[in-house]
Amino acid sequence: MNMFEVTRQNFDSLFPKIEYAIENADFISIDTEFTGLYYDEHSKPSLFDNSAERYAKLRYSVQKFTLSQIGLTMFVRNAKDNCYSTQTYHFYLFPFPFGSYDPRFSVQTSSLEFLKKNSFDFNKWVKQGIPFLNNIQERNLTNEMAAGYLFSGLNNDDETELQSLCSKVAAWLPNSKVGDILTLSLPKGSESSYVYHTDLRMRFAHIWTSSNPFDQIVVEHVDKVKRQLLERENHSSHQEYQKQQIIQLLGFTRVFRLLQISQKPVVGHNLLMDLIFMYDKFHNPLPDSYAKFKQDIHKMFPSIFDTKHIHYCIKRFLESALLFTTGNLKELYDGINQNTTILAMLQPKIKHTESGDFPASFPHQAGYDSYMCGVVFLRLCHFLHFQESGSSHFKPCSFKDYLVTMKKFKNSVNLIRAMVSHIKLDGEEVLSLRPPLIFVQSTKAGTRLISQQLAAWFSMYGQVDIQMMNSREAIVAATNFHCAREIISAFRQHPLIKVSKYRFWEHSKLGQRILWGSLAIATVSGLVLLYNA
């Protein structure tokens, strides 16, 4: 399998090709890699989280971290030979500082460890990553460029360099006459002389600057009239130059805007975090309001599919067709590729249209993951379509036919380790299917419960999360009914703790207070829903 690796070096030349591929795609699959998962213990996913709480946690972390890779695979069907052509683009992303724009981002050590294990190239990331801006950053930079205040954000080293250029001009100017020329070397490693030209011109009213072929700045002593003339002459080319600079700095955001405009179906695997990252880094700072986030994302991408959610829903169905896999993308991809019997009939072929220049196909490289995800989606579409239509339609079907079949999964995005299994981007919040909470009490006098000890005991039976109520009582959320039943049964006779189903009325202080207190029924029923849903 081949794909295009996209870096700062070839981004501009590949851009028209990417644009064409997006415009012509039937659907586009996406994967991202990032510098961290959760910023602190409070933002760690927990089985106690509902959708809005999860959004708040993810928002907090995403604001700290950044995207390091994004993979896009464009799938387009050729009806003649019932074949999907694909193009995969594997982008390295790294924010590029410019003037006062000097973003800070966080890194979670274990996430870099994870990338490292999956052959991530950190030199390529920092040295060749494509920049990006969200709308606010773009606006601020545009304004600052227009005002000419870029240097104020320079770091100390660059400012010292600029300072030194200015001193040279300041020393030379009074001792020179109109028409004299001063040639200045640019500081080593400067990627753009733009800031220097802009700043020198703004500070000295009687000079004009230009570049020579040796990448030096040529300063000419000019009179007021010539200066005004040159400014007028250069006004449009100056503006053009500013526009070009912004386009360079926008980088991947330009691709993101194409995706938005295209309104094509977007497919990802467990892609909530990807969506939140893309919103924050390419669109706008994440809103406080979860509802606003859902609305905006739905407007940007009106047709989203999450293969992890689809697998979760049809797991039993796939098993009945002898396809056993976990929700892990690589396992799902391998399982589907090995299982030729159930999925074979009239299955479309999938191929790469052109050989690219990227030989690696490692899982957890964003490009390859986006490809695997798109393939899995197509296979699941086909499987479900022919299951539902009862195999009576003996002609190959279009992608639109698939979309009709998959409608029930549209805009449902998987949630890991939460109170609910998924988020509905275009509808009401879903109800929890998790088992009731478990209540734990210390039964031995003087014994305090330790959250880690409880986790160690219970997690043997499945994923659990613990919330301490006080030093002798805790609530446990378990991932499924089986796990909850096992825990209650296994610890029935335990010498140190008593486990039981959590009963709000009996076990919570609030419940007790309500039961004996005087709150209105309306409020109470709301709380019951909250705790027993």
> Which residues, in sequence order, are CB contacts of 461 under 8 Å at separation 6+?
478, 483, 486, 487, 490
Interface pick for a second copy out of 12, 102, 240, 288 (rule CB under 8 A): 102
Binding to a second copy, residues 433-452 (CB under 8 A) = 451-452
Q: Which two tokens stand for residue 387?
A: 């299951």
Q: Which is nearer to a second copy, 401 or 486 (CB)?
A: 486
- 99 in the Ramachandran plot: left (φ > 0), alpha (ψ -120 to 50) or beta? left
**Position among 24, 81, 127, 388 found at the interface with a second copy (CB under 8 A):** 127
Name residues whose C-beta falls within 8 Å of residue 118's C-beta, 6 or more positions apart in sequence. Answer: 362, 363, 364, 365
- Closest distance of CB 455 from a second copy, Å: 6
Query: What does residue 152 show for φ and ψ, rounded to 5 degrees?
Result: -60, -20
**Site membership for a second copy, residue 345 (CB under 8 A):** no
461 binds a second copy, rule: CB under 8 A: yes
Other beta carbons within 10 Å of 494 = 12
Residue nearer to a second copy on the CB measure, 36 or 374? 36
- Which is closer to a second copy, CB of 8 or CB of 352? 8
* Structure token digits, residue 514: 């309500």
Residue from 48, 60, 114, 241 in contact with a second copy (CB under 8 A): 114
The DSSP letter of residue 280 is I
Q: Does 60 bind a second copy (CB under 8 A)?
A: no
Residues in 400-439 that interact with a second copy by CB under 8 A? 416-417
Residue 241 engages a second copy in binding (rule: CB under 8 A): no
Tokens read off for 471: 């030093």
Q: Which of 9, 78, 143, 152 binds a second copy (CB under 8 A)?
A: 152
Distance CA 504, CA 514 (A): 10
109 binding a second copy? (CB under 8 A): yes
**Which stretches does DSSP call E strand in 348-452?**
349-352, 412-414, 422-424, 438-442
Residue of 51, 108, 209, 414 interacting with a second copy (CB under 8 A): 108
Choosing from 12, 20, 116, 447, the residue that interacts with a second copy (CB under 8 A) is 116
Q: Is 40 in the site for a second copy (CB under 8 A)?
A: yes
Concatenating the DSSP letter of every residue in 160-229 gives: HHHHHHHHHHHHHGGG--TT-EEEEEPPTT-S-SHHHHHHHHHH-TTEEEEE-TTSEEEEEE--HHHHHH
Q: Does residue 282 belong to the site contacting a second copy (CB under 8 A)?
A: no
If one asks whether residue 489 binds a second copy (CB under 8 A), the answer comes out as: no
The DSSP bridge pattern shows strands 181-185 and 473-478 to be unpaired
Secondary structure (3-state) at 4: strand
Distance CA 161, CA 154 (A): 10
Q: Where are the beta strands (DSSP E) in 340-482?
A: 349-352, 412-414, 422-424, 438-442, 464-470, 473-478
What letter represents residue 355's amino acid?
S
Least distance in angstroms from the C-beta of 120 to a second copy: 8
Exactly one of 8, 52, 83, 121 binds a second copy (CB under 8 A); that residue is 121
**Residue 97 lies near a second copy (rule: CB under 8 A):** yes
Q: How far is the CB of 523 from a second copy (least distance, A)?
A: 36
| Nearest alpha-carbon partner for 47 in 344, 396, 507, 481 | 481
Nearer to a second copy, 170 or 404 (CB): 170
Candidates 48-56, 144-152, 250-258, 420-428; binding stretch for a second copy (CB under 8 A): 144-152
CA 251 to chain centroid: 16
Shorter beta-carbon distance to a second copy: residue 204 or 409: 204
| 271 Cβ contact partners less than 8 Å away, ≥ 6 residues apart | 30, 31, 304, 306, 308, 413, 414
SS (H, E, C) 292-340: HHHHHHHHHCCCEEEHHHHHHHHHHHHHHCCCCCCCCHHHHHHHHHHCH
What are the phi and psi torsion angles at 29 (to 5°)? -100, 150
Q: Is 36 in the site for a second copy (CB under 8 A)?
A: yes
Helix (H, G, I), strand (E, B) or coil at 85: strand
Query: Of 18, 27, 29, 45, which lies in the binding site for a second copy, with binding defined by CB under 8 A?
Result: 45
Per-residue exposure over 290-329, b if at least 16 CB sit within 10 Å of its own CB, e if not? beebbebbbebbebbbbbbbbbbbbeeebeeeebebebeb
Tell whether residue 147 is a contact of a second copy (CB under 8 A). yes
Site for a second copy in 187-206 (CB under 8 A): 188-189, 199, 202-204
Site for a second copy contains 302 (CB under 8 A): no
* For a second copy, the closer CB: 76 or 413: 413
Tokens representing residue 95 in the block: 């924010």
Least Å from the CB of residue 107 to a second copy: 6
Residue 472 interacting with a second copy (CB under 8 A): no
User: Per CB under 8 A, does 525 bind a second copy?
Assistant: no
Asked if 151 interacts with a second copy (CB under 8 A), we say yes
Residue 258 binds a second copy (CB under 8 A)? no
Q: Please, how many CA atoms are within 13 Å of residue 513, restricted to the half-sphere of its CB?
A: 6
By the rule CB under 8 A, 295 interacts with a second copy: no
- Could you tell me which stretch among 77-85, 93-101, 212-220, 377-385 binds a second copy (CB under 8 A)? 93-101
CB of residue 485 vs a second copy: minimum separation in angstroms? 14
**Which of residues 17, 23, 78, 103 is near a second copy by CB under 8 A?**
103
Least separation, in Å, of the C-beta of 466 and a second copy? 9
The separation between CA 244 and the C-alpha centre of its own chain, rounded to angstroms, equals 27
In the complex with a second copy, which residue's Cβ is closer, 148 or 436? 148
**Shortest CB 150 distance to a second copy, Å:** 9
112 binds a second copy (CB under 8 A): yes
Phi, psi angles (nearest 5°) of residue 397: -115, 155
Q: Which residues bind a second copy (CB under 8 A)?
A: 36-37, 39-40, 45, 64, 94-97, 102-117, 121-123, 125-127, 147-149, 151-152, 155-159, 163, 166-167, 170, 188-189, 199, 202-204, 416-417, 451-453, 455-457, 459-463
